[in-house]
């Protein structure tokens, strides 16, 4: 959920007469852009007349007088819901509306788009009581560095021109820095995580069992499974006699 309260919309589609499955352009737009097209639509409907005039002027410059005249006429119907925005119009607004918005609002749109398209890393470590700390360190490093892959794709940037602007690059850098700072903050508390695991292992000493623990970071998660080696009956007897 973001500042606009939008949850990602699942991919849905329609059946053509030939039986082939087809996703509508608007549904594809929402899926590709993480729902910010819906946010832009709501912002568009909230524009005052001065801001609307700016937008329709740009609309005519980019898409022609006929398209702009239709947009001016259709605006009241779009706003009251009697006519739905087409996928083509929604994509045009996705190009035209954000450049008219303050940086903070564009930042939130970029953040939502980035989060929707970023797949977090997931590390699974199987280790022993003697090696778990050594094995955990490299896994943490891999997950944190995975955050560097969170930039918007060239495909997305080419499709919506303002996403290639300098402000968006700045927003991406700020978001990456924020994630790294949060990761550092969380990792600062890893001593507490280590102590917790050590305590669990101490309580389970000499038992044939395992401990599982998860560490969550902005860039992904690390799942640690620490397994105590099985002890043979002879070893158990020797330990008991000793």
Please determine, for residue 44, whether its predicted confidence score (pLDDT) is greater than 90. yes
Across the range 203-226, mean pLDDT stands at: 79
- Each domain of the chain, given as residue ranges in start order, spans 14-117, 121-150+182-241
User: In whole angstroms, what is the distance from residue 219 CA to residue 209 CA?
Assistant: 30
Position 98 confidence tier, pLDDT thresholds 50, 70, 90: very high
| pLDDT digits 0-9 by tens, 119-174 | 889 999 998 878 888 898 899 889 988 888 888 888 898 999 899 888 888 998 88
- Chain centre distance of CA 238: 54
Indicate the SS3 state at residue 227.
Answer: strand
HEC-encoded secondary structure of 139-168: HHHHHHHHHHHCCCCHHHHHHCHHHHCHHH
CA within 13 Å, CB half, 151: 13
Looking at per-residue pLDDT, the higher value among 6 and 63 belongs to: 63
Contact, 33 vs 93, CB < 8 A? no
| Confidence (pTM) | 0.70
Angle value at C-alpha 94, between 91 and 98, nearest 5 degrees:
170
> CA nearest 227: which of 134, 127, 94?
127
Looking at per-residue pLDDT, the higher value among 185 and 16 belongs to: 185
> CA nearest 68: which of 46, 47, 93?
93
What is the structure's pLDDT at 4?
41
What is the structure's pLDDT at 149?
83
User: Could you give the dihedral angle defined by the CA atoms of residues 159, 162, 166 and 169, in that order, rounded to the nearest 10 degrees?
Assistant: -50
Please name the helix (run of DSSP H) or strand (run of DSSP E) that holds residue 236, with its range, or none.
helix 233-241
Q: Rg of the chain's alpha carbons, rounded to an integer?
A: 26
Query: In 10 A of CB 57, how many CB atoms?
Result: 11
């Amino acid at each position: 959920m973001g500042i606009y309260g939008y949850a990602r919309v699942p991919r849905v589609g329609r059946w053509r007469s030939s039986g082939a499955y087809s996703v509508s352009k608007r549904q594809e737009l929402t899926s590709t852009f993480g729902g910010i097209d819906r946010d832009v639509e709501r912002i568009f409907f909230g524009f005052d007349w001065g801001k609307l005039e700016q937008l329709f002027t740009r609309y005519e410059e980019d898409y022609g007088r006929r398209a702009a005249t239709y947009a001016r006429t259709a605006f009241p119907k779009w706003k009251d819901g009697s006519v739905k925005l087409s996928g083509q119009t929604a994509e045009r607004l996705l190009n035209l509306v954000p450049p008219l918005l303050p940086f903070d609002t564009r930042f939130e749109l970029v953040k939502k788009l980035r989060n929707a398209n970023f797949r977090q890393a997931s590390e699974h470590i199987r280790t022993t009581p003697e090696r778990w700390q050594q094995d955990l360190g490299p896994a943490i490093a891999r997950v944190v560095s995975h955050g560097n892959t969170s930039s918007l794709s060239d495909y997305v940037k080419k499709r919506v021109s303002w996403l290639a602007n300098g402000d968006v690059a700045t927003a991406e850098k700020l978001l990456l820095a924020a994630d790294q700072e949060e990761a550092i903050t969380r990792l600062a508390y890893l001593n507490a995580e280590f102590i917790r695991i050590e305590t669990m292992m101490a309580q389970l000493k000499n038992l044939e069992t395992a401990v599982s623990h998860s560490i969550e970071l902005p860039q992904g998660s690390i799942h640690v499974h620490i397994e105590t080696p099985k002890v043979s009956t002879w070893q158990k007897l020797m330990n008991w006699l000793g």
